């Protein structure tokens, strides 16, 4: 696979970079009338596309020349089993869902869609911190662009065969041991260091999503880790500065990221989501998966409700089972066990990484799983800090888009795309090209 390189825009580190990726050689692809001709217009149409486990979500936004972003429309479509744990398992069904979601978004926004920014998740996604050190040849000269290129190459991760960098985000420079340096150019020093957080994925599994979109005749402008995209929509710059944990609870996966001092410090994907809660209900209460999902949505809660003691729900016969009565308290206990376990896994991971003390802005929940009643209260008990459910932090548009936690990732992709295009217009540089090992002009 060839790559056009990572584009790390000259913006605050919580909003860059985006990864461009080529499709596989055998990818079926329809003719594209024109690809993203609006790139340098006064206003630009930007589409964020998330291929989730339960449904596909497409959000359409428009950015004007001043950078103001307005969300115009949204389209969603159930995946009907085409995606499992964030990854496509049935290409034909996936393309049908993607086509339907994009058509709905097109109609909602009253625009023609030609390209998308695409998110990626799954158990193959890994995030790690890297460190690069570069000695300055002479203390009689100031640090220049070549020194920045050199130290960034030193931080290049040595990935195993078959993996590719998805996001590479600079955390900060150190000059002669002094940390917190945002721009070391022009400073005199004998030693330059850089810290970066790199998110990588398995090439073939990334290609599956790209090919599904390109098969519909659309361009994929860039890929971004879903957790990072959701954070771009749900976290404010102040939260990123103070330190915040963003948990994106999807149907098949839970992505979570930690930001501190405006930089991505930690990222993980757990292959557990809302579908696993439904499966627990199905097994524990002996129900079909469809009935368990409906029961979860209609009567579920993340914490047992003392007032629900003795309350029941009468269920009609279901897939060979007789009419029966289900205890609401039992339902809540089943859900609480799974959700508490998930949150404790995240808490313990952050404790091992020494990050809990840095979360001064607390925890932010997003994704479809964030709708579960009492989840905020359960998370508050687990993390012992403030917890809130996300709403988009920037841009204008219908509340039906901005207030939907299920749309956070697609909203964030639109914001990331707007930032990238603005950087391209300004023709500014200063980016890692992790795969080629050289600096790429943006």
What is the reported pLDDT for 15? 31
Alpha carbon distance 419, 36 (integer Å): 16
Spatial distance between the Cα atoms of 213 and 49, rounded to a whole number of angstroms: 9
Structural domain including 415 reads 6-123+203-233+392-426
> 45 and 34 in one domain?
yes
> pLDDT value at position 319?
56
What is the predicted pLDDT for the residue at 384? Answer: 98
436 in a domain, yes or no?
no
Closest CA to 397 of 176, 110, 72: 72
Q: Are residues 119 and 260 in the same domain?
A: no
User: Under a CB-based contact definition with an 8 Å cutoff, are residues 422 and 7 in contact?
Assistant: no
Whether residue 213 is found in the same domain as residue 261: no
Residues ≥6 apart with Cβ < 8 Å to 347:
356, 382, 383
How many Å is the Cα radius of gyration of the chain?
23
CA distance 385 to 362: 6
Q: Does one domain contain both 300 and 350? A: yes
139 three-class SS: coil
**Do residues 65 and 211 share a domain?**
yes
Q: Read off the CATH number of the domain in which 151 is found.
A: 3.30.1490.110
| Spatial distance between the Cα atoms of 289 and 280, rounded to a whole number of angstroms | 9
pTM equals 0.86
Please report whether residue 439 resides in a domain: no
- In CATH, what number is assigned to the domain containing residue 292? 3.30.420.40
pLDDT at 39: 37
What pLDDT is recorded for position 44? 87
User: What's residue 329's pLDDT?
Assistant: 95
Task: Give the containing element (helix H, strand E) for 342.
Answer: helix 328-352
Of the candidates 15, 79, 52, which has an alpha carbon nearest to the alpha carbon of residue 369? 52
CA 72, 77, 79, 85 dihedral sign is positive
- Domain-located, residue 432: no
Segment 41-69, tens digit of pLDDT:
456 899 999 999 999 999 999 988 777 88
Q: What angle do CA 374, 53, 161 make, to 5 degrees?
A: 120
pLDDT value at residue 11: 29
- Asked whether residue 262 falls in the same domain as residue 287, the answer is yes
Q: Does a structural domain hold residue 420? A: yes
Residues 180 and 216 in one domain: no
Q: How many domains does the chain have?
A: 3
Q: Are residues 225 and 285 in the same domain?
A: no
* Whether residues 357 and 290 fall in one domain: yes
| d(C-alpha 289, C-alpha 319), whole Å | 10
Indicate if 305 and 361 belong to the same structural domain.
yes
Whether residues 295 and 369 share a domain: the answer is yes
CA angle 202, 204, 205 (to 5 degrees): 65
By the 10 Å C-beta count (0-12 exposed, 13-18 middle, 19+ buried), 216 is classed as middle
- Ranges of residues in the chain with a pLDDT under 50 are 1-17, 23, 25-41, 427-442
pLDDT at 308: 81
Q: At what angle do helices 274-285 and 289-299 cross, to 10 degrees?
A: 110
What local confidence, expressed as pLDDT, does residue 8 receive? 30
- Residue 440 covered by a domain: no
């Amino acid at each position: 696979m060839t790559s056009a390189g990572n584009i790390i825009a000259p913006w605050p580190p919580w909003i860059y970079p985006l990864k461009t990726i080529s499709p596989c050689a055998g990818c079926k692809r329809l003719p594209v009338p024109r690809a993203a001709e609006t790139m340098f217009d006064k206003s630009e149409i930007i589409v964020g596309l998330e291929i989730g486990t339960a449904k596909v979500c497409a959000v359409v936004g428009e950015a004007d020349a001043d950078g103001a972003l307005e969300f115009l429309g949204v389209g969603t479509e159930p995946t009907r089993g085409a995606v499992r744990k964030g990854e496509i398992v049935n290409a034909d069904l996936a393309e049908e869902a993607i086509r339907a979601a994009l058509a709905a978004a097109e109609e909602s926004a009253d625009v023609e869609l030609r390209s998308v920014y695409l998110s990626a998740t799954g158990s193959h996604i890994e995030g790690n911190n890297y460190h690069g050190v570069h000695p300055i040849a002479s203390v009689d000269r100031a640090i220049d662009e070549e020194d920045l290129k050199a130290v960034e190459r030193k931080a290049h991760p040595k990935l195993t065969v078959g993996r590719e960098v998805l996001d590479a985000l600079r955390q900060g420079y150190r000059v002669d041991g002094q940390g917190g340096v945002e721009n070391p150019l022009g400073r005199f020093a004998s030693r330059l260091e850089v810290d970066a957080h790199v998110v990588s994925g398995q090439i073939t599994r990334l290609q599956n999503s790209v090919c599904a979109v390109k098969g519909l005749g659309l361009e994929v402008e860039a890929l971004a880790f879903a957790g990072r995209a959701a954070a771009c929509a749900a976290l404010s710059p102040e939260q990123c500065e103070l330190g915040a944990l963003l948990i994106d609870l999807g149907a098949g996966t839970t992505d979570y990221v930690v930001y501190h001092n405006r930089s991505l410090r930690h990222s993980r994907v757990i292959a557990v989501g809302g579908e696993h809660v439904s499966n627990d209900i199905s097994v524990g209460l002996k129900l079909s998966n469809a009935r368990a999902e409906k029961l979860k949505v209609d009567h579920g809660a993340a914490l047992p409700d003392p007032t629900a003691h003795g309350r029941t729900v009468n269920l009609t016969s279901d897939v060979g089972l007789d009419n029966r009565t289900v205890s609401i308290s039992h339902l809540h206990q089943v859900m609480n066990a799974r959700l508490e376990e998930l949150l404790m896994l995240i808490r313990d991971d952050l404790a091992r990484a020494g990050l809990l003390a840095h979360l001064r802005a607390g925890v932010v929940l997003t994704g479809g799983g964030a709708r579960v009643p009492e989840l905020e209260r359960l998370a508050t008990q687990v993390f012992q800090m403030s917890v809130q459910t996300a709403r988009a932090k920037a841009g204008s548009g219908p509340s039906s888009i901005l207030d939907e936690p299920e749309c956070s990732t697609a909203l964030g992709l639109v914001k990331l795309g707007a930032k990238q295009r603005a950087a391209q217009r300004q023709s500014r540089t200063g980016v890692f090209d992790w795969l080629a090992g050289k600096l790429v002009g943006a």
